Amino acid sequence: MKFRIVHEIKGRMRIHLICRQMSTKEADIFQYYLEGQTFVTAVKVYERNQDAAICYTGEREKLIRILQGFSYGRVSVPDHVWQNSGREMSRSYQDQIIEKVIWRIGSKIFLPIPVRNVLVACKSVKYIRKGLRALAGRRIEVSVLDGTAITVSMIRKDFRTAGSVMFLLGIGEILEEWTHKKSVDDLARSMALNIDRVWLLVDGKEVLVDTEEVKQGDAVVIHMGNVIPFDGIVTAGRGAVNQASLTGEALPVRRETGGYVYAGTVLEEGELTIRVKETSGSNKYEKIVRMIEESQKLKSSMEGRAEHLADRLVPYTLLGTALVYGLTRNTAKALSVLMVDFSCALKLAMPISVLSAIRESGTHRITVKGGKFLEKTAEADTIIFDKTGTLTKARPSVKEIIPFIDENVDELLRIAACLEEHFPHSMARAIVHAAKKRGLTHEETHSRVEYIVAHGISSMVEDRKVVIGSYHFVFEDEGCLVPEGMERRFEELPDEYSHLYLAIQGSLAAVICLEDPLREEAAATVAALRRAGYRKIVMMTGDSERAAAAVAAKAGVDEYYSEVLPEDKASFVEREKKAGRKVVMVGDGINDSPALSAADVGIAISDGAQIAREIADITIDADNLEGLVTLKAISDGLMGRIRKNYIRIIGINSGLILLGVAGVIQPTASALVHNASTLMISLNSMKDLV
């Protein structure tokens, strides 16, 4: 590929592609190609002027070689890249605005006034009809004001004012629709499936394969806590499926043989084998978009109040117009009031503010599922953290395996990995990774695996009952014992590690020691959250008192609770809410799901359990806990912006009404300033908050 370097600094290069033009599809291919390079950290492709801004690490020459070797025909792009790309949609709205502006300017320059007046009259039919339709439905809303203002202007033969009003209304409609559509699409893309591998049933055995290898008619096994990757019919097993992401249902639904499951829903309990009916990624994406469009989740209460206030103000605007005309008998002064309505700005600026805040959150790799969750985050005064994978690193590692039976350590690790590989938790991933690092293969030699949330795993391996999990699960629930003569070794387990207990046939077989270090940014994040307004910061964990105390001291939380169960976390959240506190819960595991649901705002870590991400209201990037501080700043900024918008809208429009009634400005100027101020407030609402 031929290109020219337009601008360059260390780690960043802007290039111009030497080509006649670039389509939106070609731009998506080029972006996908560059994002696939490990040393490229960020890419933005501008298809209109064939430019690309690339941030990278490492050698400049390596990037140039990659660019020179690029060819559209050589890059294989998955279907979901086309299905989920918002580039073509943004291009269409940009074109609409450009065409509208060009037509407006061109008509003023080239068309005679009589012709322009006829066109204005034709365009006015749309707005007058909408106003009449609202009146026919006994609704006095913004369309009535718009239709009345345009009708009065036409009666007065003030086609210039009518044309200006319709032009600004048209631009406002496009901007509102564009911002709304883009925010919804960005949100839907972030919620869309991102599943790389699934368990395929082959000759009665489960085989881990890439998602792309699965075809219609294949049998796929879904384990508890995992997202269902495809639409399909249940052929074996039974379970409870959480369908909240598609239907909004709070309670899971039971599914067993013969039942139908949908891609993107989550298996909360049990295990299912499904016969795949639909593998297209667009299926899930389209359902999410439809759900968001129809849901009230996007509306914060402040946004709802703004819309309610806007509708309530319309009759008063009409009453004010009639009153001014009755007192002055001056059509121009009455029209000045009619041209200025508070509702237009309120209904346009508030939703744009909320949706823009959701979009901005996405640029910081924060997924927000609705405007009301930003509002609740701004109001929150209590934040509760899970420990493992949240305050501590999401990638714990196996440091030592202490055997308690006469068995090879590698064999014990292999058995543990065989069970743990089915479940989405950071500790499970650490064990599987340790086995892989040692070159241990763990074929499916066990029977059906049973996972007990926040406790452990139970199964049969070669006709022996094997359990792995917490002390409470292994010794208290399962009644396992430390082998005779091994009591001292058990008492001398290293304190600096978290422990996972493996028992075979009722006897402790091994203790797996895992290092779960505190995130580097955890203490600074906790301090920043306290400065941002959180008055109570709590840590809750199922880990031991010793491990919890050490992490709590380093992180700087106000309170901590150890050895808690999932229901304990949820109960604590409920107690805090009853005490009048607004609660945020941050977690990453299946065991955090009840508390995430109970909290005013549930925040999941992006690489945590799929069920946690699905249930949560907000998801933050796993690599940086400081996203919580950014989220708080965006939420507070949004509430501040909405309050400022109220003041600006009321101040500007009240001033215009007074100037119009006093005869200082004419209706044309009043309409122009009103619509221009509405547009400026709306455009300002699209700016980043942090």
pLDDT, tens digit (0-9, with 9 covering 90-100), for 469-479: 888 889 988 89
575 and 530 co-located in one domain: yes
Per the structure, how many domains does the chain have? Answer: 3
Q: What is the rounded average pLDDT of the residues 325-341? A: 78
> What's the CATH code of the domain at 591?
3.40.50.1000
Q: What is the rounded average pLDDT of the residues 302-321? A: 72
Amino acid at 333: K
Instruction: Output the CA–CA distances (angstroms, integers) from residue 22 to 26, 48, 51, 244, 658, in the order listed.
Output: 6, 7, 9, 40, 52
Q: Which of 375-379, 495-499, 657-661 tops mean pLDDT?
A: 375-379
Q: Is 199 helix (H, G, I), strand (E, B) or coil?
A: strand
Total residues found in the chain within this entry: 690
Amino acid 481: pLDDT? 93
Amino acid 602: pLDDT? 92
Two tokens at 165?
A: 């009003």
424 and 471 co-located in one domain: yes
DSSP state of 474: I
404 and 551 co-located in one domain: no
Note down the domain range covering 562. Answer: 367-393+518-620
Rounded to an integer, what distance in angstroms lies between the CA atom of residue 439 and that of residue 646? 63
Residue 610 maps to a domain: yes
Q: What is the rounded average pLDDT of the residues 639-661? A: 87
510 and 458 co-located in one domain: yes
Category of 56 on φ-ψ map: left (φ > 0), alpha (ψ -120 to 50) or beta: beta
Residue 128 maps to a domain: no
133 contact partners, CB below 8 Å, separation of at least 6: 143
pLDDT tier at 343, thresholds 50, 70, 90: low
Least confident of 197-201, 348-352, 568-572: 348-352
Closest CA to 513 of 503, 527, 522, 502: 502
Count Cβ neighbours within 10 Å for each residue of 470-500 and write b for 16 or more, e otherwise: bbbbbeeebebebeeebeeeeeeeeeebbbb
571 and 524 co-located in one domain: yes
| Sole residue written with tokens 């690339």 | 54
611 and 522 co-located in one domain: yes
Higher pLDDT, 89 or 116: 116
Two tokens at 381?
A: 């005064």
Amino acid 144: pLDDT? 83
445 and 462 co-located in one domain: yes
448 and 589 co-located in one domain: no
Predicted confidence (pLDDT) per residue in 190-234, tens digit: 555 556 678 888 888 888 887 778 888 899 998 877 778 888 899
Predicted confidence (pLDDT) per residue in 49-59, tens digit: 899 999 999 88
User: Considering 484, 515, 546, which residue would you say is the last residue of a domain?
Assistant: 515
% of the chain surpassing 70 pLDDT: 86
Q: Which of 60-69, 357-366, 607-616 tops mean pLDDT?
A: 60-69
Amino acid 125: pLDDT? 93
334 contact partners, CB below 8 Å, separation of at least 6: 321, 322, 324, 325, 328
Residue 267 maps to a domain: no
Least confident of 105-109, 329-333, 343-347: 343-347
535 and 386 co-located in one domain: yes
User: Considering 515, 544, 578, which residue would you say is the last residue of a domain?
Assistant: 515
Predicted confidence (pLDDT) per residue in 112-164, tens digit: 999 999 999 999 999 999 989 988 888 877 788 788 878 888 888 888 878 87
Residue 176 maps to a domain: no
Amino acid 448: pLDDT? 61
Amino acid 334: pLDDT? 79
484 and 437 co-located in one domain: yes
Amino acid 295: pLDDT? 46
Closest CA to 540 of 522, 515, 557, 521: 557
Residue 262 maps to a domain: no
Rounded to an integer, what distance in angstroms lies between the CA atom of residue 248 and that of residue 230? 19
Closest CA to 652 of 357, 349, 354, 353: 349
Amino acid 538: pLDDT? 96
Count Cβ neighbours within 10 Å for each residue of 35-59 and write b for 16 or more, e otherwise: eebeebeebebebeebbbebebeee
Amino acid 265: pLDDT? 78
Residue 206 maps to a domain: no
> What's the CATH code of the domain at 55?
3.30.70.100
Predicted confidence (pLDDT) per residue in 250-297, tens digit: 567 888 898 888 877 778 778 899 998 876 544 555 555 555 554 444
> What's the CATH code of the domain at 451?
3.40.1110.10
The model carries a pTM of 0.69
389 and 402 co-located in one domain: no
Question: Is residue 556 over pLDDT 70?
Answer: yes
pLDDT tier at 326, thresholds 50, 70, 90: confident
Amino acid 249: pLDDT? 55
DSSP bridge pairs for 459: 466
Amino acid 659: pLDDT? 87
DSSP state of 390: I
Amino acid 313: pLDDT? 74
Q: Is 540 helix (H, G, I), strand (E, B) or coil?
A: strand
% of the chain surpassing 90 pLDDT: 26
Predicted confidence (pLDDT) per residue in 389-427, tens digit: 788 876 778 989 999 998 889 989 998 888 887 776 667
DSSP bridge pairs for 562: none
Predicted confidence (pLDDT) per residue in 16-44, tens digit: 999 888 988 889 899 889 988 889 988 99
User: Considering 32, 54, 77, which residue would you say is the last residue of a domain?
Assistant: 77
337, containing H or E segment: helix 331-339
427 and 467 co-located in one domain: yes
| Mean confidence (pLDDT) of the chain | 82
Please state, as a whole number, how many other Cβ atoms lie within 10 Å of the Cβ of residue 578.
Answer: 8
